Homo-oligomer: A and B are copies of this chain.
Amino acid sequence: MKINKYPDKNTWSELIKRPVLKREKLTEIIFDIFKNVEENGDQALIDFNKKFDNAEVKNIQVSEEEIENAESIISDELKLAIQQAKDNITKFHASQIVEIEKIETTKGVVCWRENRAIEKVGIYIPGGTAPLFSTVLMLAIPAQLAGCKEIILCTPPDKNGNINPAILYTAKLCGVTKIFKTGGAQAIAAMTFGTESIPKVYKIFGPGNQYVVAAKEYCQKFGVAIDMPAGPSEVLVIADENAIPEFCAADLLSQTEHGSDSQVIFISTNEKIFNQTIKETENQLKELPRNELAKESLKNSHFILLSTIDEALEFSNLYAPEHLILALEDFEKYIPKIQNAGSVFLGNYSCESAGDYASGTNHTLPTNGFAKNYSGVSLDSFVKKITFQNLSEEGLQNLGETIEIMAEAEGLFAHKNAVTIRLNKENERI
């Protein structure tokens, strides 16, 4: 860990730097994978399963039987936990549904917006050691609430050609329509072009390794939308004299176990809390099972001592963290000062894991500084907002001249004529 006591503001631009991701070499690999999947469909996916995941898979699509089996494997305890998380996530995302509000901007001119679900969406869930069924909740629940007709899920199989039962169980529970055994860039390619088994989708969601990230960047060239650009996960904790060092340390460490490139920043205005948190972090680290990743990631972490909370927030807004924890007594008064952040956790009992799993907010958030210009996933991510307008004859009378003058000033005479021809028709009748 890097300790910085009262660093000069000139050095902040160094402190907020993320690790640079080198992606140049990936371009060709991704291009080849996309070409292969576009040309060979399911067979390409079966071959990639063998090559990358060492798995023999006959049917790319998960069968009903496999899903039923998964249900019988999952413990009742885990089912109850998933259900409580689902209820909260549903409640929070359902609150984002907006009533249609018709606005009469000028007498006889009525404008409004209506949501329409994106018809076909794809969810990518990474494989590896952690079976991220929580991400299934975070993406499938708003997709179903939005009314997406086709909600497909791709995830790589294990060596035996199976998918983790918690992922299957959660997917079924949240209305995923089809599940496929394919991972990596090839899964993104399959959802981009469609194959014999996998339907083409209009938008792709979900986290992944560098190949998946590069593939999600590339798939946009084919008209597919994505949730947001990606980078390693990160947390910034701001602690005052009333913060509890054990809690702060636990929050920092929970971020580090995501991967060796995870970013962790701790800021305090109180030197005692600052030193105790450093000590606590070192102590708790020893107890952790996923110790190696955490150790690696802690090396790049910054522990920063600053003079005031206002300064800490200034730093945080520059950094634009994915997760921001305010371990502050009077957090309320600092909320208006937060400008750039993905999700904010307030007070000593709002740990990041609450939002990661079960409080109701979405855990798919902008990283890598993208909290400056992107929002996290919400119900809005699964809909288009279509504008509607209805002008009565009176409405066009009231607005027509304005349109004519503006269209003429822009030199667009056919635009003007579309109004003139209507106004003349009215006058004829009068």
Contacts and interface: CB of A to CB of B under 8 A. Distances in A.
Contacts of A345: 389
B414 A256 contact: yes
Interface in A93-116: 95-96, 98, 101, 103, 105-106, 109, 111, 113-114, 116
A221 to B, nearest CB: 8
Interface in A5-40: none
Contact of A247 (B353, B380, B422): B422
A353 to B, nearest CB: 4
A357 B403 contact: yes
Contact of A358 (B85, B354, B376, B403): B403
Contact of A109 (B331, B359, B388, B399): B359
A11 to B, nearest CB: 20
A412 interface: yes
Contact of A203 (B106, B134, B373): B373
Interface string A381-398: 001111111111101100
A388 B419 contact: no
Contacts of A48: none
B251 A418 contact: yes
A119 interface: yes
Contacts of A225: 370, 373-374
Contact of A411 (B91, B290, B358, B373): B290
B101 A84 contact: no
B92 A412 contact: no
A179 interface: no
B105 A223 contact: no
A49 interface: no
B353 A403 contact: yes
A68 to B, nearest CB: 19
Interface stretch (A52-60, A74-82, A269-277, A305-313): A74-82
A148 to B, nearest CB: 11
Contact of A387 (B111, B244, B344, B401): B344
A402 B85 CA distance: 7
Given A247-B421, A290-B413, A402-B85, A202 B392 contact: no
Interface of A: 77-78, 80-82, 84-85, 87-88, 91-92, 95-96, 98, 101, 103, 105-106, 109, 111, 113-114, 116, 118-119, 129-134, 166, 202-203, 220, 223-225, 229, 244, 246-247, 250-251, 253-254, 256-258, 284, 287-290, 294, 331, 335, 338-362, 366, 368-376, 378, 380, 383-393, 395-396, 399, 401-403, 405-407, 409-419, 421-422, 425
Given A111-B359, A116-B338, A353-B415, 17 more contacts: A78-B405, A88-B109, A92-B105, A114-B335, A130-B412, A133-B409, A166-B409, A220-B229, A247-B421, A253-B414, A254-B415, A257-B413, A343-B386, A344-B388, A347-B391, A356-B415, A375-B384
11 contacts: A131-B411, A220-B229, A250-B418, A288-B413, A290-B413, A331-B390, A347-B390, A350-B391, A357-B403, A358-B402, A375-B384
